[in-house]
Amino acid sequence: MRKAFHVSICFMFVCGFLAIFSPAFSADTIKVGIVDSYTGPPTAYTMDVLDGFRLAVDKINAKGGVLGKKIEYATRDEKFKPDIGLAMAKELVMKEKVDILMGTINSGTALNVSSFAKKEKIPFFVTYAKSEKIIGEEGHRYVFNMNENTEMAGRAAAVALAKKPFVKYWICGDDYEYGHAIADAVWKNLQKMNPRVQKIGESWWKLGEADFTPYITQIMGAKPDFIIVATGGSSMVNFQKAAKATGLSQKIPFYQHTATELGTLLSQGKDAPEGVYGTSNYLFYFPDSPANKTFAEEFMKAYKRYPKASALVGYMTAQFIAEGFKKAGKLDNEALIKALEGLKLDSPIGPLSIRACDHQLELPTYFGVTKKDPKYDFLVSGNNQVVSPNDYMPTCEEVLKLRKK
């Protein structure tokens, strides 16, 4: 009797210990912690990530959740500051006890959180940051990249531009890491694909430049065949407005990554310049498929607006988390990572896979040119050329070589 009493006490102690200290999946939910910029201009993209994720989660939970558990999420505003973003990620893990991390549009924050996730062995899904270091030299087992990076965008643009007749190029853009990274990626790959191209000049302006006229005057005087414009954030729209006002867009064609995305064109209405070349990983009207129409209609019904490229990223991140756990057959992060490697899912734009070697989502890129469409009160991307991920993604060998440096 006394021995049985001691066994019972020990059993209760062990159960209590596990209940207190078991760090993950101890409740009836799978908790996702989202760190992103929910203040200022980045919200043009980050709110679509969140709403796309929320749209998918609501559908998943309505069908019973994942392995009997609902997906919940908590958000934190990093205010586009990497130090705040890292602190928010730690707070989500330590206090909120999230099982998975997700975010952000800020590459500095993404790299900081990625390092933290590696240390804590928590899966981290990067949603809209563009640094190639995320899966390149600083990539690891616990990080997944759910959108393109500057190297991939540059290669995709080069694939399309190499088939154009342009020879004399001018390069210009925002003088910061993203601007130089996207310009370098386009140019170095274009040179490889079309040795005839020549760079006749380049110009760089400070981030946030309000007056593009001196730069545009210099470029027009040099008379290049084509311009690679490496702008990001608010400079995307501001440069397009200046290009139209000065007559540049009517005389010399130019390319900007995301020039043809809804996030760049919507706010300009029908005043955006026509004939601007751009690349995007998602257009709500292309491909004109039933799956894409359904996604756009569901997003419009839920949020009263068309989905941007970042909405697809949020939507598919939730889908991969859910289907990854289902494939793993248990709520275990190591099993989730293994299940996600090579997993292929249907999406609004067709089947998408997570590459096993580096955890990069394999997305098609659409190279198009801005044009008016009577169906919309803003410009759209026309003459879209689909660039397959096989044609622009770095090979596994290239990525793994970067990680060894």
Residue 41 pLDDT level (bands cut at 50, 70, 90): confident
Tens of pLDDT, residue by residue over 187-212, are: 999 999 999 999 999 999 998 899 99
Half-sphere exposure of 62 (CA within 13 A, CB side): 6
Q: What is the identity of the amino acid at 304?
A: K
The answer to whether the CB of 279 falls within 8 A of the CB of 365 is yes
What pTM was estimated for this model as a whole? 0.90
pLDDT, averaged across the chain = 93
Strands 168-174 and 198-205: parallel
Identify any residues that bridge with 205 across adjacent strands, giving them in sequence order.
174
CA atoms within 13 A on the CB side of 333: 22
Q: Which two tokens stand for residue 319?
A: 């889908």
CB 202 within 8 Å of CB 222: no
The β-bridge relationship of strands 365-371 and 277-280 is antiparallel
* Measured CA distances, 323 to 24, 34, 126, 338, 405 (Å): 18, 19, 18, 12, 34
pLDDT tens for each residue of 353-374: 999 999 999 999 999 999 999 9
Task: Please give the Cα distance from 146 to 103 (Å, whole number).
Answer: 10
Report how far residue 287's alpha carbon sits from residue 384's, in angstroms, rounded to the nearest whole number: 9
Structural tokens at position 311:
């909405």
Gap between the Cα atoms of 392 and 382, Å rounded: 21
Residues β-bridged to residue 280: 366
pLDDT in tens, 17-34: 444 434 456 668 999 999
Residue type, 371: K
* Whole-number percent of the chain with pLDDT over 70: 93
Q: Is the pLDDT of residue 16 over 80?
A: no
What is residue 124's three-state secondary structure? strand
Average pLDDT rounded to a whole number, residues 49-68: 97
Q: What is the pLDDT of residues 246-286, one digit of tens each?
A: 999 999 999 999 999 999 999 999 999 999 999 999 999 99
Q: How far is CA 333 from CA 23, 79, 118, 172, 318, in A?
A: 12, 29, 12, 44, 15
Residue 287: asked if its preceding bond is cis (omega within 30°), the reply is yes
